Chains A and B, each alone.
Chain A
């Protein structure tokens, strides 16, 4: 059926490869350092001064690296984000040694300030293809997409509300 590679097919391969930052640990470690610096500066405004936040940022860096390494060598597949969460959950559990110190250091890093740079990267990263596809997709799929997001949010919220 397919006569040539379309941009969409290329996207497919690209997206799946990019999905696995744990497969190129060396590069990921460097890029991770750069994005941590961005988050560290973003944190100055509503979080803490650079020196106060340094231990917390380093803890986050180390947690991510541990999560990626586990994901890289684990015999079954879970997304790297899941491994990183697990590492950080375990390190902050009440019985984990030094958990109080870890939580106190991480408190210097503002929750929102870490997300702000991610969205700045996201805005800068939109490709010509995405702008073009967006125009082509048309208003119908925009409406449908917003209903999809509303549906999953309300659906989960109603189930949880009834169960709580």
Chain B
């Protein structure tokens, strides 16, 4: 990628103005049923970013030309790193609490297998999806998971189409959904808030950011502890996620799919 495009001043200035505006608007709380929806500045920043996106509104090409917008793609991966460093700095001081919670922290990694528990039966039985459902539900469909599917089935296979669909939805709405869902579930006060913090560590930088930020805003008194747990869990997912999805999640999803589909329908996916 061309360094001039990566350092284009219009891109970074737009981001600065957008972020400062979003921060200035601040956090909004909307009561909904038994809980509360939290709207965070990161949500406004994303929406404003989309509105300035020249691929959606070609008139915006005057502010941000398309090549500059394309350069923003690789920048995201770099932009998340200072945040990851800030996040890690919440773990160090809380190391004793984290070690004390060690067993819970390690075992909840298995909860990441929950991706297919509700979604796969729903996809197969209700939506009548074929093998797309395997790619779509075996993981949260971030880059390492795509690499596994691409390696095993190819991305033009039904499994590949499934994971790319979830990847795109995740890219567009995953962060926002995690922020809303986590904040809402926390406001219901059913599960231990520290357990929710650990559950935020799904192995995606921006999702864990939104998720734990929402929790921290829902229970400001335990902010530091919650961030530390979320960060530790996310780090654990970075380290183990690839192996869990390859050696445990994918075989289980295949097995569940066969059980749900029944053996005689297995050939029908060929023409999908």
A-to-B contact residues, CB < 8 Å: 1-2, 6, 8-9, 11-12, 15-16, 18-19, 21, 27-28, 30-32, 34-39, 41-42, 44-46, 57, 59-61, 63-64, 67-68, 78-82, 84-94, 96, 99, 102-103, 106, 109, 111-128, 130-131, 133-134, 137, 140-161, 163-164
Contacts and interface: CB of A to CB of B under 8 A. Distances in A.
B91 A149 contact: no
B175 A122 contact: yes
Interface in B128-146: 129, 132-133, 136-137, 140-141, 143-144, 146
Main DSSP-derived SS at the A contact region: helix
A87 to B, nearest CB: 7
Given A81-B84, A88-B89, A117-B79, A153 B108 contact: no
B141 A148 contact: yes
A103 B95 CA distance: 14
Nearest to B170: A145
B162 A141 contact: yes
Interface in B60-95: 64, 69-70, 72-93, 95
Given A35-B79, A137-B169, A148 B136 contact: yes
Contacts of B150: 12
A153 B19 contact: no
B174 A35 contact: no
B89 A151 contact: no
Given A64-B82, A88-B85, A151-B115, 16 more contacts: A8-B160, A18-B77, A27-B3, A35-B75, A35-B79, A81-B84, A118-B83, A121-B49, A121-B79, A122-B175, A126-B172, A145-B141, A148-B136, A149-B202, A155-B111, A155-B114
Contacts of A63: 85, 88
Report the contact-size class of chain B (Cβ under 8 Å from the partner): 35 or more
Given A64-B82, A119-B43, A145-B136, A12 B89 contact: no
Contacts of A36: 82
- Interface hub of A19, A61, A109, A112 (most chain B Cβ within 10 A): A112
B122 A60 contact: no
13 contacts: A21-B74, A106-B86, A106-B89, A116-B22, A116-B42, A123-B53, A124-B11, A130-B172, A145-B136, A151-B117, A154-B185, A160-B105, A161-B195
Contacts of A155: 110-115, 117, 199
Contacts of A41: 16, 19-20
A60 B110 contact: no
Closest 4 CB pairs of A and B: A123-B49, A155-B114, A92-B92, A88-B88
A87 B107 CA distance: 24
B221 to A, nearest CB: 15
A118 B12 contact: no
A84 B79 CA distance: 13
B41 to A, nearest CB: 5
A108 to B, nearest CB: 11
Given A125-B76, A164-B195, A151 B40 contact: no
Contacts of B140: 148-149, 152
Contact of A35 (B18, B82, B122, B155): B82
B12 A114 contact: no
Contacts of B83: 39, 114-115, 118
Interface stretch (B29-37, B206-214, B263-271): B206-214
B7 to A, nearest CB: 6
Contact of A19 (B46, B77, B164, B182): B77
A147 B168 CA distance: 15
Contacts of B92: 88-94, 96, 99, 103
